[in-house]
Each structure stands twice: as structure tokens, then as C-alpha cells.
Chains A and B, each alone.
Chain A
Amino acid sequence: MRLERRTHMPFHLVIIAPIAAILVALTLAAGLIAAAGVNPLTAYGEMLRGALGSRLSVTEMLTRATPLILTGLAAAVAFRARLWNIGGEGQFFMGALMTAWVGHSLGLPPILAIPVLLVFGMSAGAALLAGPAFLRLRFGVDEVVTTLLLNFIVILFVGLMIEGPLRDPLAFGWPSSVPVDSDFRLPDLIARTRLHIGLLIAIAAAGVVWLILSRTVFGAETRAVGLSAPAAAFAGISLPRNLMGVALFSGALAGLAGSVEVLGVTASVTTTMSPGFGYAGIVVAMLAALHPAGVVVAAIFVATVFVGADAMSRATGVPSFIADVIVALCLLTMLVALLFTTYRVRK
């Protein structure tokens, strides 16, 4: 049995691959659900109902998908250039923290303040990833470990900030940061739900990413660098400049995720405001085969799983960790599925 390179990639495989991957993941997870003494089909039914069964649940799911789209884009942009940005979680938090800090008392009318705050959030995320990118360029230090370790450092830093200089004196219970000015909150997309226009911002971001990656010189250079760094260097593309550009781009997207979440949902920063958006973003990016349009769809899928799992857990007693299991399995199955789009199995 041998793997043989395909001469061309049939388009239908690109669509089938993620679907097949998801189905295999769901089948494997079904075994775990059965181990809990619950019929997997019932459980999945509850999951779908919990996420998509009512208008309210759909808006909850979309609210959950919003930051996932952005962290998914962040991972997709970075991974295309073989920049292994695992620091999405930390960049998310820095974006959120910066937004809360500046947004607490910014003397601008909302129409100006909101874009300004989003820009601050993006800058914070970009700056955070610039560090590991610089260490890679200058010292050859692998960014996987540095971005990962930074995540832990950032969470501690956030804790430090919200228990100290940015503490909200009016908060009871868990420590939280000062909230952003209520005028700067993102308006609801659908009234009396948590769904806010951040979703539109996220989708627009996907469009911008697609445009940049497929139509600009920077995007073309990034593609070349990711596919063959020696050939790109030979052609005169500056690897350091391109890498730094990608890092700033990716970090900004993850920072934007944090910013949007603060402005749209939480209003203030806590250490628990992210149930792993950064890491889930990586799965979203892989399921989308690193395509910006696919990221939107994949984010909705992942959000569905997470939101649905809570409801399913309440209804059936299956631990809600099954959502994390399913999402992680999707990453692995998608990796294998992508293999089959590039290679054919030969005897």
C-alpha cells in the first residue's frame, strides 16, 4: 500500500473532505456517548435542538460563532505561511484587555469610539504575536512553544490587571475589569438576544482576509513563502518582512476577536471569558482547509457543537466535555481527510 501524489485536486473532494471528517468524528464520539449509557442519536438530536432548535438558541450559537470566526481567520492566515500561531488565546485576551482599558473612559462619540477601540484591540493582538515572530526571525526560536507559553503568561497578566489597576470596584464575586462605557457596546443584531453586530464585523473580516490573500501582492507572496520558502527568497521576496506581516495580520485578527467579545457580549474582562476560543480557532481553520470562506462555515459548526453540548448535557447527562472531544477529533480526522485530497492510495 502506497501513497501516490495526485496530479490535480478534484474540486468535489475539497467539499467532501470536511464533511467526511466531521462524520467520522461524530461516529467515533458516538462510542463515547454510548459508554455513558445514552443513545448517540438521541444525544445528537438533543445537541442539534439545543443549538438550532429555537430562535434564541440560534442567536446564542451565532454569538458563540463570532469570536470563533475571527480566531479561525487568525489561525488560517498564520498557518498558510507556516507560522504556527498557537497564541490566539493570549492575543484574544490582550485585545479584550486593551479594549476594556481604553474603552472605560474614552471621550469620543460612539460612532468614532467603536472603530477606535477595535483598532486598539487589533494592535494589542498584533503586538503580542510580533514578539514570538521576532524571536523566530532573529534567534531561530520555534514559535510554537513561545506562543503557547505566552498564553499562560497573558492569562496571569490579565488576572494581575483585573485584580489591580483595572479592577472594577463595583464587581461582586469573581474579579473583573472595569467595563467599557455602555455607549460603546455593539448594538444588537436581533433585539432581546445576545447576538450583536460583531457577527457582521467577523464576516466582513473574512471577506477582507479573502481579498488580501487572493488578490494582493502580499497575499501572493505569503502563499509562495508558505509553499516554498527557498523559491520565494530566490524570487526576491523578503522572508522576514513577509513573516512579520503575517504575524501582525494574524495577531490583529485574534485581538479583534477579544475586542468584539468585550464590546458585544461581556462588557468587561474576566479570566474566564474565553472557553478556549484561541485553540478552537485552530480547529476551525483546519476544518476550513485554511480558506476564509470555509472559516465562517466551520465556526458555525464548532459553535453548534459547543452550544448544543450544554443543552445535550442537561437533557441526557452526558458530560459536556464531549463537545471538546468532538471538536478535537474533527481536527484529527480533517488532517487525515486533507491527506486524501493530495494523495491517492495505491496497492
Chain B
Amino acid sequence: MIEALELLMNTSLWAAVLRIATPLIFGVLGALLCERAGVLNLGIEGIMTMGAMTGWLTVYLGGDLWTGLLVAAMSGALIGLLHAILTVPLGLSQHVSGLGITLFASALAYYLYRLIVVVGELPPTIEPFRPIDVPFLSDIPILGPIVFSQTMPTYLALISVVVMAYVLARTPLGLAIRMTGENPHAVEAQGLSPIHIRIGAVVAGSALMAVGGAFLTTAAFNSFFPEMVQGRGWICIALVVFASWRPGKALIGALLFAFFDAYQLRLQTVIEGVPYQLFLMAPYVLSIVALVLVARRAEVPEALMTPYRRGER
């Protein structure tokens, strides 16, 4: 028991929390953007897988890490575009399309990887992002090593939260996106195109998701292997509800979840006799519990999942 609590004192735990939270932050922000515009994007798991693969592959083939992230974002955007076309102008079931996209994007990622990369005993590796010490700030006791010695993508994630919050709340574009998710007819009546806005939001959101996936292969681990996303995409979907569709709360949710994930990993070393699977289950169980707790109070965007058909009331 004491050891379990002592673990909480360890700064490396908290540094790990930020690291583990990074792909979740990108994923939640991406899903949030799509849903705020009214589109549920269940392709997230597949898009993150594709982002992980293309980001890694770019670096493996000689590109630098930032190019890798950019390529990952573009691959996510392309797949997002497919989902957007199916669900917005064609108005197909967002559930089924999303599932199909996840299956397709994952399968495509594995296929292309197998095609291009020769895999021997162990999967090939790349040089990942290394943590950077921010001058002065990283010398602050306790907070310094935790927050200011992270990799660049992590800083990018944190900045993205602020940018997303600002854009949604304070810009005309953000207002248009929010309105599209509440009442697309109102958007049309004001002379804008809800279809274009939804497509744009899904494409941009998917790019963010893919960057989250790329973090896994270019910073967290340094190789790509099947099933590496491990349901993080689905957890992000749950976290969006938990965050009431707000970027600030999304950050908190991601950090909370990452904490449980990081903690459970370390608890395994300290607590004897409990099968490791129970620890691994905890994050998924917690996600379900979080959903139940927030469900009733959820301020769902009113037009979420309602396809917009011109002229149909």
C-alpha cells in the first residue's frame, strides 16, 4: 500500500502521464472537432493506425521527423475526406461508415507496411523524437522535469488545445462550426454551406487524429506493429463525451486517463499476485464508467449524427 502511494511521488510517473496523454490529446481534439460540426468519426482507430504507419514510414525512408508528422497528417486528412464524402453529401450512416473506415484504414496501413518494409526477426526501428529540455523552465524543481522536458509533439499537443479552444470560442469559423453541429439549417439560412463546413471539420479533425497516431511510432515507440493503437481511438470517442465537447475538459480527460494508464503499469511492479490483465483492463473499464457518469448531463451538439439534406425538414 505504501509503495503504491510512493509511486505517486515519482516525477517519472508524471512525466509519463504527459507522454501517454499526447496521442490521446490529438485524438480527442480531432474527434471533438468532427463532432462539434455534427459528424461522428468512428474511423479514428483506423486513422490513428494509418497515421502511425505513414509517419513512421516517412522517417524510415529517409525523411525527417517533422516531415513524418506532416505526411501522417495528410494521410489522415485523405481518409477523413473519404469519411466526410460518405457521411455529408451522401448522408450515409455515420456509424457504419466510420466502422468501415477504421477497418479499411487499418487494413491498408498493414498492407502497405508489409509491402514496403522487410520485416525480419524484430520490426525495424527509427530514431524517434527525443525529449527537449526547455531552457530555464526545465530547471524548475518538480514541475520542470515533468512539463518542460517533453518531446516536441507533446508541446504541440498542448498548444493545439489552446488553439482549438480559441478558434471554437472566438473566431467566425469556430462559430460556424459550432452552429453546424447544432442546426445546419440555420447555417444555410445565413448564407454559409453546412456541407463544406462539415467536410472541412472532418478533414482537419482526421489530420489531428493521424498526428496522434504518428506520435506512437515517432516518439513513444520507434517501430510500427499491428494492433499498436490498442483501442486508444475508441477511448478518445468516449473522452469527447466526458469532455462535454470542450477542448479544455478534453485535456483534463486525456490527462486523467493517461494517469490511470501510467499508474497501473507501475502498480504491477509493486502489487503482487494480481494478474496483469486486470491492470490492463482498468483503462477500458474506467472509460465506460466515465461515460456512464457523464451521460445524463451531456450537452450533445443537437445536430450530431443528423445528416443534412437540403430542403428536407
Contact = CB atoms under 8 A, between A and B. Distances in A.
A32 B108 CA distance: 9
A153 B231 CA distance: 10
Nearest to A338: B92
Interface stretch (A44-52, A116-124, A144-152, A180-188): A144-152
Contact of A331 (B103, B114, B231, B234): B103
Contacts of A311: none
A41 interface: no
Given A135-B292, A160-B275, A325 B95 contact: no
A231 interface: no
Contacts of A163: 275, 277
Given A152-B231, A321-B111, A335 B280 contact: no
B86 A322 contact: no
Interface string B271-313: 0000101101100110110011001101000000000010000
Nearest to B114: A319
A36 B96 contact: no
Interface string A280-302: 00110010000000000000000
Contacts of A150: 284, 288
A327 B110 CA distance: 14
Given A319-B115, A336-B90, A152 B284 contact: yes
A144 B82 CA distance: 21
A336 B93 CA distance: 10
A84 interface: yes
A283 B100 CA distance: 8
Interface string B17-33: 00000000000000000
Interface string A48-86: 000000000000000000000000000000010000101
B105 to A, nearest CB: 8
B197 interface: no
Contact of A283 (B103, B231, B238): B103
Given A140-B295, A141-B291, A148-B231, A332 B101 contact: yes
B99 interface: yes
Given A141-B292, A321-B111, A328 B100 contact: yes
B233 to A, nearest CB: 9
B292 A328 contact: no
Given A335-B97, A335-B100, A146 B288 contact: yes
A156 B278 CA distance: 8
A321 B97 contact: no
A337 B11 CA distance: 55
Interface in B71-120: 82, 86, 90-93, 95-97, 99-101, 103-104, 106-108, 110-111, 114-115
B237 A145 contact: yes
Contacts of B292: 135, 139, 141
A247 interface: no
A153 B99 contact: no
Contacts of B238: 145, 149
Contact of B95 (A84, A141, A160, A164): A84
A329 B93 CA distance: 16
A18 interface: no
Nearest to B83: A332
Q: Which of B42, B235, B291: most chain A Cβ within 10 A?
A: B291
A332 B104 contact: yes
Nearest to A286: B96
B231 A149 contact: yes
A210 interface: no
B288 A149 contact: yes
B100 A321 contact: no
B108 A144 contact: no
Given A331-B99, A332-B101, A164 B275 contact: yes
A160 B282 CA distance: 14
A218 interface: no
Contacts of A325: 104, 107-108, 111
A160 B277 contact: yes
Nearest to B42: A144
A319 B111 contact: yes
Interface string A1-43: 0010000000000000000000000000000100110000000
A159 interface: yes
A336 B106 contact: no
A220 interface: no
Contacts of A86: 99
B277 A32 contact: no
A332 B288 CA distance: 28
Contacts of B114: 319, 321
Contacts of B100: 283, 328, 331-332, 335
Given A3-B90, A140-B298, 8 more contacts: A35-B115, A146-B291, A149-B235, A152-B281, A160-B275, A319-B114, A327-B107, A328-B107
20 contacts: A3-B91, A3-B309, A36-B115, A86-B99, A139-B295, A142-B241, A144-B42, A145-B237, A145-B288, A149-B288, A151-B231, A156-B278, A279-B103, A319-B115, A321-B110, A329-B104, A331-B100, A332-B86, A336-B90, A339-B90
Interface of B: 42, 82, 86, 90-93, 95-97, 99-101, 103-104, 106-108, 110-111, 114-115, 230-231, 234-235, 237-238, 241, 275, 277-278, 280-281, 284-285, 287-288, 291-292, 295-296, 298, 309
What 3 pairs between A and B have smallest CB-CB spacing?
Answer: A324-B107, A328-B104, A319-B114
